[in-house]
Structure 1
Amino acid sequence: MNLEATRRRLTEKQADTVDRLTRAALEVLSREGFAGLTVRMVASAAGVGTATAYTYFSSKEHVVAEVFWRRLAAAPEPPQDGDRTTRAVAVLRQIAMLVADEPALAGAVTSALLGTDPDAAHLRLRIGAEIRRRLLLALGPDPDLDIVETLELLYAGALVRAGVGYVSYVEIADRLEKSARQVLPG
């Protein structure tokens, strides 16, 4: 899977810089929260200049969206055993649990992906396409696209609910499973 940053193709050295920046973003986020996070702080924590950080990331929303994208892209493909409902539920649970243990990151991802930064918006589309790909794979040949869209609406709404703190990500994963089982025939 392509893990290049959204703004440019990367050399090995540049990829290392982006990795350091995304790791530093997690450190700053856990300390300062999303409201306090700045690209300048991330650059400082990564040991790079602010201008260098802005070469790769247009905003704090872009950095956080990149962190989530990398987590999703690195997540293993869900198992292909079991029936299609079990496989689809596994996809939804995996997505919900990507940030379950990190409340600061979870809330930040919600804010970042709902924001208007064009680079974060680009990642939002990539994330949506990857989740759709995984759902299609789980549902098998000739899936009902209305069901796919309904499952996408379920996870999007569920992640927003969890991201704003109404329920935990573990609870939302359980709720997603229940809802998906109601939507999927059989």
Structure 2
Amino acid sequence: MSTPLGAEPARLQTESTRRRLTPAQAERIATMVDAAVEILAADGFDAMSVRDVAKRAGVAPATAYTYFSSKSHLVAEVFWRRLAAGVPHADPTLPAAARVAQVLRAVSLVVAGEGQLGGAVTVALLGNDPDSEHLRWKIGGFIHDRLAAAVGDDVDDPDAIVDALQMLYAGALVTAGMGHLTYEATSERLVAAATRLMGMRE
């Protein structure tokens, strides 16, 4: 079952990949997330380190590593927070295809116009450390729930449609993250493909 609209951003204030957070810890992590985005914009993923992020955020490196095991984990956290804060449930008054398009546009444009952040997210989500993998599953579950709610149960074989839409989105994310298309162009192609899929299956 999908999480109610607005629940995710509130929950982000009190938990992380590793443990529940006090308000002070949540603020520290938010500061590190902002610092990571700034460093990515200026220097790119390859040049970024958890130590550099900690320094910019005014956090001791040892403390930073208690929250983030790697730079991939940190970037995955950035993406998760962008998704949770920026991708609401689709408008239930719209037809199913329009609801799906609304969700896919929101999801695919989360890092649009953010310089090197998109490519960093692609690399981070393909990482194999346990914390990045945990967030990858969490992100996948979030997107699945948003798409499942958008598809609804008034179409033929909704589970198969959601699976296909997730595959379309995953391919689109990698395409944009590798720099082959802008996120804006990728979003429109993704929506066009999803619309055709919905038309064939409704």
Which of residues 171, 178, 181 is equivalent to 2:185? 171
* TM score, norm. by length of structure 1: 0.97
Q: Which runs of 5+ in 2 are unaligned?
A: 1-7
Matched AA of 1:109? V
Measure, in 2, the Cα distance between the counterparts of 1:93 and 1:134. Answer: 12
Post-superposition Cα deviations, 1:55-91, rounded to whole Å, max 9, x if no partner, equal 1000000000000000111123332221001001111
Q: 1:154, CA displacement in angstroms?
A: 0.1
Query: Match of 1:20?
Result: 31
| 2:181 counterpart of 1:162 | no
Measure, in 2, the Cα distance between the counterparts of 1:73 and 1:136. Answer: 16
| 2:196 counterpart of 1:182 | yes
SS of 1:165's partner is coil
Which of residues 71, 81, 91 is equivalent to 1:70? 81
Which of residues 139, 148, 154 is equivalent to 1:127? 139
* TM score, norm. by length of structure 2: 0.89
SS of 1:36's partner is coil
Moved more, 114-123 or 38-47: 114-123
Measure, in 2, the Cα distance between the counterparts of 1:157 and 1:168. Answer: 14
Which of residues 144, 147, 152 is equivalent to 2:161? 147
Measure, in 1, the Cα distance between the counterparts of 2:26 and 2:89. Answer: 24
Q: 1:168, CA displacement in angstroms?
A: 0.5
Measure, in 1, the Cα distance between the counterparts of 2:179 and 2:115. Answer: 9
Matched AA of 1:125? W
Query: Match of 1:111?
Result: 123
Tell me if structure 1 keeps the 8 A contact 2:80–2:139. Answer: yes
Measure, in 2, the Cα distance between the counterparts of 1:21 and 1:78. Answer: 30
Query: Match of 1:57?
Result: 68
Measure, in 2, the Cα distance between the counterparts of 1:19 and 1:171. Answer: 30
Q: 1:179, CA displacement in angstroms?
A: 0.5
SS of 2:111's partner is coil
Q: 1:141, CA displacement in angstroms?
A: 2.5
Identity among equivalent pairs (%): 50
| 2:45 counterpart of 1:34 | yes
Q: 1:5, CA displacement in angstroms?
A: 1.4
Matched AA of 1:124? R
Q: How does 1:73-92 map to 2 (within 5 A)?
A: 73-75=84-86, 76-92=88-104
Measure, in 2, the Cα distance between the counterparts of 1:179 and 1:103. Answer: 25
Post-superposition Cα deviations, 1:27-71, rounded to whole Å, max 9, x if no partner, equal 111111000010000000000110010010000000000000001
- Spell out structure 1 runs of 4+ moving beyond 3 A: none
Moved more, 155-164 or 76-85: 76-85
